[in-house]
């Protein structure tokens, strides 16, 4: 498929201080866009100046949550080059998410090439201030104008770019979490493993409750027994117990994070034992009470690593520690080192962006 490029005639001013850009409020000059219809398949792939979309108000995306998305980043290296982190994995996961919602599949090679071209075109937007990056948001939506419940026909793919500062204001510092024992995010057989907007809509109420109680994040328990730990907000979660790493297994209701997968690889190569298994909240409380819990952290693209300082479960507060644990700090330094090109990547995770379009 051909990809056409139309450059903007009115480039926007870049943020003066990208470290204060917040998360996903400023967008670059261009977007990628392509459309799908059952008769033509994917067509009209284009990079164009960012613009408002014209979508009929009857489109299914507005009514039935028919959308999936991805989140990855481009980083500026000390040499001034731009690189992405494991974008191929994001494209594959987006195909899995689309399959779950029954949105049309796409060619991941073509999408990756389009992504490289878009980032290359807007590469001046990739900030160089420490801790900053360019957040990349691919999204696929259903554009069928039909309020009946039918199989999905037409769709639109978009890629947006947004310069971002640190996800958590104040950099790496321990966060507080509220263990949610009423609402659930996902259930077995549901959409937990898919990166879809509906999962986030289902999480809003618990997030509001946590915020009102003064906690940074929600920790989700499994949807069947409300017993096993699944995730922390939009991050996967890991625990260090007696020097061993425990992380919830990918049971289908847990999002298969690329940061999670990268952490597991780094930890194993460093000599840690890593257990992917069911881990109950009782086991967490017991490990803490007996002094065996050494560290806990969340991991995901946005915040990279987020040490957990304390948690609240059924109105009781449990303190883990108010400093960054050594393993969390090491993971943060190693992952961000590879992502920003400060340390060599022995895994083939980084993907350079071409210097010219």
Ligand X SMILES: *Cc1c(COP(=O)(O)O)cnc(C)c1O
Backbone angles phi, psi at 272, to 5 degrees: -75, 150
Binding mask 91-120 for ligand X (x = CB under 6 A): ------------------------------
- Would you count residue 139 as binding ligand X (CB under 6 A)? no
In terms of CB distance, is 11 or 108 closer to ligand X?
108
In terms of CB distance, is 71 or 153 closer to ligand X?
71
Contact between 323 and 174 under an 8 Å Cβ cutoff? The reply is yes
Q: Shortest approach of ligand X to residue 286 CB, angstroms? A: 25
Q: Binding ligand X by CB under 6 A: which of 166, 253, 259, 336?
A: 259
Could you give the CA distance from residue 263 to residue 341 in angstroms, rounded to a whole number? 17
Could you give the CA distance from residue 271 to residue 336 in angstroms, rounded to a whole number? 20
In terms of CB distance, is 162 or 259 closer to ligand X?
259
Region from 133-141, 144-152, 255-263, 326-334 binding ligand X, contact rule CB under 6 A: 255-263
In terms of CB distance, is 14 or 23 closer to ligand X?
23
Alpha carbon 225 to chain centroid, angstroms: 26
Q: Binding ligand X by CB under 6 A: which of 141, 258, 338, 350?
A: 258
- Find the distance separating the first CA and the last CA of the chain, reported in whole Å: 17
Helix (H) / strand (E) containing 63: helix 60-64
Which DSSP letter does residue 104 get?
Answer: P
| β-strand partners of 104 | none
Q: Shortest approach of ligand X to residue 208 CB, angstroms? A: 17
Contact between 202 and 220 under an 8 Å Cβ cutoff? The reply is no
In terms of CB distance, is 87 or 300 closer to ligand X?
300
- Would you count residue 234 as binding ligand X (CB under 6 A)? yes
Contact between 306 and 234 under an 8 Å Cβ cutoff? The reply is no
Instruction: Tell me the site size for ligand X, rule CB under 6 A.
Output: 13
In terms of CB distance, is 121 or 206 closer to ligand X?
206
Q: Binding ligand X by CB under 6 A: which of 82, 114, 118, 235?
A: 235
User: Distances from the Cα of 156 to the Cαs of 37, 132, 140, 193, 245, in angstroms?
Assistant: 9, 29, 6, 22, 41
Q: Which of residues 313-352 bind ligand X (CB under 6 A)?
A: none
**DSSP for 172-236, written as a single string:** S--EEEEEESS--S--TTTTTTS-BHHHHHHHHHHHHHHHHTT-SEEEEEPTTTS-BEEEETTBE
Region from 40-48, 136-144, 149-157, 234-242 binding ligand X, contact rule CB under 6 A: 234-242
Q: Is the dihedral of CA 182, 188, 194, 196 positive or negative?
A: negative
Region from 33-41, 257-265, 279-287, 305-313 binding ligand X, contact rule CB under 6 A: 257-265
In terms of CB distance, is 64 or 200 closer to ligand X?
200
Could you give the CA distance from residue 51 to residue 30 in angstroms, rounded to a whole number? 8
3-class secondary-structure state, position 46: strand
Region from 35-43, 156-164, 211-219, 258-266 binding ligand X, contact rule CB under 6 A: 258-266
- Would you count residue 195 as binding ligand X (CB under 6 A)? yes
Q: Which of residues 15-74 bind ligand X (CB under 6 A)?
A: 71
Could you give the CA distance from residue 215 to residue 175 in angstroms, rounded to a whole number? 8
Q: Binding ligand X by CB under 6 A: which of 236, 247, 336, 339?
A: 236
Q: Shortest approach of ligand X to residue 274 CB, angstroms? A: 16
Q: Shortest approach of ligand X to residue 71 CB, angstroms? A: 5
Q: Binding ligand X by CB under 6 A: which of 136, 255, 284, 293?
A: 255
- Would you count residue 180 as binding ligand X (CB under 6 A)? no
Residues that bind ligand X (CB under 6 A): 71, 195, 231, 234-236, 255, 257-260, 300-301
């Amino acid at each position: 498929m051909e990809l056409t490029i139309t450059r903007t005639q009115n480039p926007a001013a870049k943020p003066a201080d990208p470290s204060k850009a917040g998360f996903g409020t400023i967008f670059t000059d261009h977007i990628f866009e392509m459309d799908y219809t059952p008769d033509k398949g994917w067509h009209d792939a284009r990079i164009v100046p960012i613009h408002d979309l014209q979508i009929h108000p009857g489109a299914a995306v507005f009514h039935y949550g028919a959308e999936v998305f991805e989140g990855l980043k481009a980083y500026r290296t000390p040499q001034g080059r731009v690189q992405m982190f494991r974008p191929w994995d994001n494209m594959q996961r987006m195909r899995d998410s689309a399959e779950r919602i029954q949105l049309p599949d796409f060619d991941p090679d073509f999408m990756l090439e389009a992504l490289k071209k878009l980032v290359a075109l807007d590469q001046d937007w990739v900030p160089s201030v420490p801790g900053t990056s360019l957040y990349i948001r691919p999204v696929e939506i259903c554009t069928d104008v039909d309020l009946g419940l039918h199989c999905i026909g037409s769709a639109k793919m978009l890629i947006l770019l947004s310069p971002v500062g640190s996800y958590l204001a104040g950099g790496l510092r321990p966060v507080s979490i509220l263990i949610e024992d009423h609402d659930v995010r996902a259930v077995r057989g549901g959409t937990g493993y898919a990166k879809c907007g509906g999962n986030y809509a289902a999480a809003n109420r618990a997030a509001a409750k946590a915020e009102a109680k003064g906690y940074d994040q929600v920790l989700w328990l499994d949807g069947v027994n409300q017993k096993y730990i699944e995730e922390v907000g939009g991050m996967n979660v890991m625990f260090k117990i007696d020097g061993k790493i425990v992380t919830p297994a990918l049971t289908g209701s847990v999002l298969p994070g690329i940061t999670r997968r990268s952490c597991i690889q780094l930890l194993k190569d460093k000599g840690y034992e890593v257990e992917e298994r069911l881990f109950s909240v009782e086991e967490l409380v017991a490990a803490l009470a007996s002094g065996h819990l050494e560290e806990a952290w969340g991991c995901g693209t946005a915040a990279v690593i987020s040490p957990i300082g304390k948690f609240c479960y059924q109105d009781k507060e449990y303190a883990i520690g108010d400093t960054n644990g050594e393993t969390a700090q090491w993971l943060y330094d190693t992952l961000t080192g590879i992502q920003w090109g400060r340390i060599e990547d022995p895994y083939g995770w980084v993907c350079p962006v071409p210097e010219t379009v």
